[in-house]
Amino acid sequence: MTAAARHYDTILQPVITEKSTLLSEDGKVVFFVPLSANKKEIADAVEQLFKVKVTAVNTIKVHGKTKRFRGIAGKRNDQKKAVVTLAEGHSIDVTTGL
């Protein structure tokens, strides 16, 4: 697997919510990443794909909810989010895509 393909596998999709939009004003961008991704891999992927400088990466593991459908209990998948802080003067517009 090439380095670029590995980076595309590390950044799954941006998180577009009210809270992530407010964070973007502070130079932070939120992405869904695989459960196996670590902070170093996430920082490298964002720097290579978007040509920006990353200063910090914070990760959050979101446990899937237990939900009922027609009386049968099921569980949503666990997810991992990464809050990426960009260096001063750098920005990413997640609405345009890659």
74 near 66, Cβ under 8 Å? Answer: yes
52 near 90, Cβ under 8 Å? Answer: yes
Nearest to 56 by CA among 36, 23, 32, 82: 82
Beta-strand runs (E) in the chain: 13-14, 28-33, 54-62, 66-69, 72-75, 79-86
Is 3.10.105.10 the CATH classification of the domain at 3-86? no
Residue ranges per structural domain of the chain: 3-86
pTM of the prediction?
A: 0.86
Write the pLDDT tens digit of every residue in 9-25: 899 999 999 999 999 89
Write the pLDDT tens digit of every residue in 30-77: 999 999 999 999 999 999 999 999 999 999 999 999 999 999 999 999
